[in-house]
Structures are given as C-alpha cells and as structure tokens.
Chains A and B, each alone.
Chain A
Amino acid sequence: DGGITQSPKYLFRKEGQNVTLSCEQNLNHDAMYWYRQDPGQGLRLIYYSQIVNDFQKGDIAEGYSVSREKKESFPLTVTSAQKNPTAFYLCASKGTSNYNEQFFGPGTRLTVL
C-alpha cells in the first residue's frame, strides 16, 4: 500500500534530551513537510523539503532540525533547545504541482516529562 508513516505513535522524553521522529513515504513525492499542532490549534509549519538534500525553515523552526538524505525519509529532531516541545507532530508529503494535495501521516504525540 502506498502511504506515509510516522513512528512512534507516542513518545516520551525527559527534559534536556534530543529525540528524533521518523517520517517515511512511498508515494514518490518530492516535497515533505513537518507540522506541529497544539490542542485546539491549527497546524504550524516547522520545516519543509522540496527535494533531496535541501530543506527550508518554516514558521517555527527554532529548536528543531531535519535532514533529507533520501527521497523517502524526512526525520525531525526535537532538540533540548525547544522550550515547549510537548505537542502533536504531523508529517506530510506532496507531489510537485501546486494543485496537489498533501498526504498526512498518522502523527506522533510527544510528551516531555
């Protein structure tokens, strides 16, 4: 089945630790995105990548880092510099046209203890 997956579904982290969230897609999409969603809020863009080995900061990139070494994979690292990391993280991918929809993964809920 084609799709986009995220792991883990739930993640717990102690303060001061870095943690990496996985995002994989087999849709052959060039563009991939990371969003953060807080309770009752919309999605805010963290980072996006339009092509392998290239990525751009979104609106709230501070405290996060990404890599795009493979077309299929776009991992997000939440660093200890992110002051309020507890949130629901969503990964998405999209084809090259502006008229393409974004396909979303199921999300990872990160809780900092």
Chain B
Amino acid sequence: SQQGEEDPQALSIQEGENATMNCSYKTSINNLQWYRQNSGRGLVHLILIRSNEREKHSGRLRVTLDTSKKSSSLLITASRAADTASYFCASNSNSGYALNFGKGTSLLVTP
C-alpha cells in the first residue's frame, strides 16, 4: 500500500514563526488530507486538497500539492504554542476506500 512520508520528523520553532511540513506519496491520488493530533488524542481533520488543485488556504494554513512530484506541503503561519502537535498527511487513491497515513511531523512551538 502507498505510504505518505512527512519531512521533517520533528520541528521546533518559536511563536510567531512559520512552520513548513512536507509530505511525499507513492501512487496516484484522488485527494490528500492533513490531520493534526494532540498527544494521546484522536486526529482532527485540517484541510483537504483535491488532485486537480495546486493550493488551498484555511485560516493560517496553506497547503500546496504537486502531483508531478507526488508531494504536498503544509504551512502554518504565525505559529502559536497551541499549534504544538503532530501533523499527518493522508493520501486517498482513486480506487481506495481508506486513507494512507504518513508517520507524521512532530511540531513544538515554544513561547
């Protein structure tokens, strides 16, 4: 099965800085989604980008998708301590019924 891979595995920044996380996947997709997980909790959906879209915004989040490189990036602008969490990309193939999750990026935002 295809697997997304996030990069970097861990990221530490200060409040107010921007955080960029990257994700790569292996096969053709229908859409790609980003999720957030606070420690010991379930995942929360952040944003979905379709395969025919190149960029999408939601509040302080900006997601890009490059299907030719099979990669996506998540940018969190003006980060806050409350953004501290793990972030996962998940790809949904054209024929699949389930998402394929990467291993995640652990983000630490210090005050």
B48 x A99 contact (CB < 8 A): yes
B31 x A99 contact (CB < 8 A): yes
Q: For residue A111, give the distance in angstroms from its CB to the closest CB of chain B.
A: 13
Bound together, the chains give a CA A91 to CA B3 distance in angstroms of 19
Q: How many residues of B contact A (CB 8 A)?
A: 26
A105 x B42 contact (CB < 8 A): yes
Decide yes or no whether A64 CB sits under 8 A from chain B: no
Bound together, the chains give a CA A44 to CA B100 distance in angstroms of 8
Contact check: which of A35, A59, A88 meets B1 at CB < 8 Å?
A: A59
Contact check: which of B40, B92, B100 meets A98 at CB < 8 Å?
A: B92
Chain B residues whose C-beta falls within 8 Å of the C-beta of A50 in the assembled complex: 97
Contact check: which of B31, B90, B103 meets A41 at CB < 8 Å?
A: B103
Chain A residues whose C-beta falls within 8 Å of the C-beta of B92 in the assembled complex: 98
A-B contact count (CB 8 A): 59
Decide yes or no whether B45 CB sits under 8 A from chain A: yes
Contact check: which of A6, A31, A104, A107 meets B97 at CB < 8 Å?
A: A31
Decide yes or no whether A19 CB sits under 8 A from chain B: no
Q: How many residues of A contact B (CB 8 A)?
A: 28
Decide yes or no whether A69 CB sits under 8 A from chain B: no
28 contacts between A and B (CB under 8 A): A6-B42, A33-B98, A42-B4, A42-B88, A42-B101, A42-B104, A45-B1, A45-B100, A48-B98, A50-B97, A58-B98, A92-B43, A98-B31, A101-B33, A101-B45, A102-B43, A102-B45, A102-B90, A103-B45, A104-B35, A104-B42, A104-B44, A105-B42, A106-B41, A107-B40, A107-B41, A107-B42, A109-B40
Residues of B within 8 A of A (CB): 1, 3-4, 30-31, 33, 35, 40-45, 48, 50, 88, 90, 92, 97-104
